[in-house]
Chains A and B, each alone.
Chain A
Amino acid sequence: MRVVSSAGPASPVIEIKQASKTYRTADGEVVALKPLDFTINDGEFIVVVGPSGCGKTTLLKMIAGLLPVSGGEITVENRVVTRPHRNVGIVFQSALLLPWRDVLANVMMPVEVKGLDKDTYRQRALDLLKMVGLGGFERKYPWQLSGGMQQRVSICRALVHDPKILLMDEPFGALDAMTREKMNVELQRIQRETGKTILLITHSIPEAVFLADRVMVMTARPGKVDAVYDVPLRRPRTLDMLSDPAFVALTQKIRAHFSDSHLD
């Protein structure tokens, strides 16, 4: 079930030890996530792929400290997660920008909330915006931007307080196919430049293989890890690699996990 990463000696950033989640409903207990063991190393790009209801969002929220674990534990940077902490930045499927704040003010939101030094982080916010290709858009409002641009702003917001980990829950699910491919290339570059550890959730198998160092395949009801695959493609990856035999072989291998069920 667990494949050892070939990344060599690396320090673990996120350690998931027998973490599980059960919800209590009127009909009794529902297992959302079976006990799961997984270690994510510093600077790794992990993509979780699986059908709806396989507990991948639950896993992400537990790592962020938004949901308590029902059993086991999760440690981030050797600290057990019990509540939200500043080691993570989160990007959701919807950009969730505040329409009354301009782009810069939206990116600065975590800085304001956490009471960090505004002048220092303002420069960082501007640098981040420049990095994602939005230099000069600081004073625009979210509704003046396209969907892809909005999502780039929300990535900057997740990174502004310099967290170690970026958690992304289907971040490009609402974008059209072409913008999505562009954003995948962009995200790969962002990771290379920032060196963040990224955990990304997706429904798209090609997206998973394109982005990941390791792909975690999950199955639904109750959610559990089916397999973990190393992606043998070198970096930086280009869109040409989508037709690389190794790429195609791995997507087919992953797709086979869902042949009896279906991705929705």
Chain B
Amino acid sequence: MASSGAGVIQRVLNSAWVRPVLFIVFMVVIWDVTIRVFRIPPYQIPAPEDVIKTLWLEWPKLLAEAIPTTEATVWGFLLSAAFGIPCAMLIAGSRTIESYVYPLLVFSQSVPKIAIAPLFVVWFGFGMFPKVLSAFMLGFFPVVVSAVQGFKSVEPDMMDLAKAMEANRLQTFRMISFPHALPAIFAGLKVSITLAVVGAVVGEFVGSNNGIGFVLQRSIGNFELPTMFAALVILALIGVILFWILDLIERLSIPWHASQRHDIVMGA
């Protein structure tokens, strides 16, 4: 009896979603205890129950605000992928292009994009476009870097083999380089999508009257800390859900990759 009960607990503990949930519960408890022990006033850090209450009460409103943020994130991300991957192809495919573009690209990353986000408002006004642009700016670079690495990591012998088969450039790309680069591209896309969320929020900080970023800023201004924390939770959820969707697409599109397979190697 006791052993089967322990078995059930063991099995529940081993399922993938339980551990992160347990960890979150643990963190919330720490959070609550810290506030009580150190007597932190609610205008500095709100109690977890206040945040949960706000989440519960303001759920429809927060969800409505989450939509424009998610939209800006997804568009920014899609633009990152749509420009990042071809850009990486060009950089990996030509030494000349690489020598011109790559250093400039790295240099452009040293410019704090948060600092130029207000410029987008000056140029493009309020609304969706500057947000998308801001998300794109943050999401673009990791896609390029990972994809370049992916395209370049094809073994030289593999390229010789393709040449010996008399494969043309397009065939080599389609049959070898691109599928070979996919795992690296996905790694870049995963970083990109989380950064695109940040980019969208930055865009909303500087020039928007809707979205989670706007809620965040307004609630800080009004000292509504539970609302602000609730907005942060929503933001994290957006990031997690988008990441999870991408992970699913990855699993479906590269089932052959070592990180995705669960098969036994045969002997002999």
Is A113 a contact of B268 with CB atoms below 8 Å? no
Q: A72 at the A/B interface (Cβ < 8 Å)?
A: no
Within 8 A of B (CB), among A52-88: 61, 64-66, 84-86, 88
Is B157 a contact of A94 with CB atoms below 8 Å? yes
With A86-B166, A143-B263 as known contacts, state yes or no: A96 contacts B171, CB within 8 Å. no
With A100-B179, A113-B166 as known contacts, state yes or no: A143 contacts B261, CB within 8 Å. yes
Is B265 a contact of A143 with CB atoms below 8 Å? yes
Is A98 a contact of B175 with CB atoms below 8 Å? yes
Residues of B within 8 A of A247 (CB): none
Residues of B within 8 A of A100 (CB): 179, 254, 256
Chief secondary structure at chain A's binding surface: loop
Residues of B within 8 A of A66 (CB): 160, 163-164
Q: B165 at the A/B interface (Cβ < 8 Å)?
A: yes
Within the complex, the shortest CB–CB distance from A77 to chain B, in Å, comes to 16
Residues of A within 8 A of B165 (CB): 84, 109-110, 113-114
Q: Which residue of chain B has the shortest Cβ distance to A96 in the bound complex?
A: B158
Determine the distance from Cα of A236 to Cα of B254 in the docked complex, in whole angstroms: 45
Q: A238 at the A/B interface (Cβ < 8 Å)?
A: no
Determine the distance from Cα of A110 to Cα of B171 in the docked complex, in whole angstroms: 11
Is A144 a contact of B160 with CB atoms below 8 Å? no
User: What 0/1 readout, one digit per residue, does chain A (117-149) give for beta carbons within 8 Å of chain B?
Assistant: 000000000000000000000001101111011
Is B175 a contact of A109 with CB atoms below 8 Å? yes
Q: List 15 A-B contacts (CB under 8 A).
A: A61-B160, A84-B164, A88-B164, A90-B160, A92-B157, A93-B157, A96-B158, A98-B175, A100-B254, A100-B256, A113-B175, A143-B256, A145-B265, A148-B268, A149-B266
Known: A90-B164, A99-B256; 7 extra A-B contacts, CB below 8 A, are A84-B163, A85-B166, A90-B161, A94-B157, A96-B161, A98-B175, A148-B268
Binding site for B on A (CB under 8 A): 61, 64-66, 84-86, 88, 90, 92-94, 96, 98-100, 109-110, 112-114, 140-141, 143-146, 148-149
